[in-house]
Amino acid sequence: MYRRCILLRHAATPGNEEKRYTGCRTDEALSEAGRRMVLEKRTELLMRIPADAALFSSPLRRASETAEILSDDRQITPLQEMRETDFGDFEGKNYEELKEDPAYCAWIDSGGTLPFPGGESREEVTARSMAGLREALRRTPADRTACIICHGGNIMAVMSALTGGDFYDFQTGNLTGYDLELETDGERILVTAYHRLG
């Protein structure tokens, strides 16, 4: 069955602006610049998101606030599976604060493949994010688009899982993402085409 799904990263937060590992343990609101960003890009984004799209959001404030601004009063369904990565001991810190930490150095040396100390592994994030994608598609009528407003970690996980590409090739900035054309039988999902948004 043909399906369409849009994955969009939330607008900027104070943690994003300070290049911090802002994961699921930090439920911060959009920054003033982030709120301005989504208001300025609202018309452009709504030209890409069909008016009858089913809207889903991570339960974290930065994603739900972005979704509310884009919703036109449509219902937004929270998806627990699409919360950001648990960065564990790195949560809330940036490179300057971590660069001397042996655990961080080991994580960097692994190419980001080691689990976050005290947090999640890439495999856990990917499994959870793919479950969130399946749930969004299950809840969306077959003739409508699912639009999920979530986090960079979810987008990298889903895109690398669907395409077989490198995880970090799918890094996305705030308010960017992917428009996906999919074939699915409800469990297996095959991407037939995708386009970068933003």
Domain count, the chain: 1
d(CA 179, CA 50): 11
Q: For residue 25, count CB atoms less than 10 angstroms from its CB and return exposed for 0-12, middle for 13-18, buried for 19 or more.
A: middle
pLDDT band, very low/low/confident/very high, at 137 (cuts 50, 70, 90): very high
Helix, strand, coil abundance in the chain, percent, nearest 5: 40, 20, 40
The average confidence (pLDDT) of the chain is 96
Average pLDDT over residues 55-75: 96
| Structural element, H or E, at residue 74 | none
pLDDT of 143-157, one tens digit each? 999 999 999 999 999
Which pLDDT does position 187 carry in this prediction? 79
Amino acid identity at 27: D
User: Residue 88 gets which letter from DSSP?
Assistant: G
Average pLDDT over residues 78-82: 98
Q: What percent of the chain has pLDDT over 90?
A: 96
Amino acid identity at 83: R
| CATH value at residue 131 | 3.40.50.1240
By residue range, what is the domain housing residue 121?
2-197
Look at the block and give the residue holding tokens 């949560």.
Answer: 91
The tokens describing 94, both together, are 């940036």
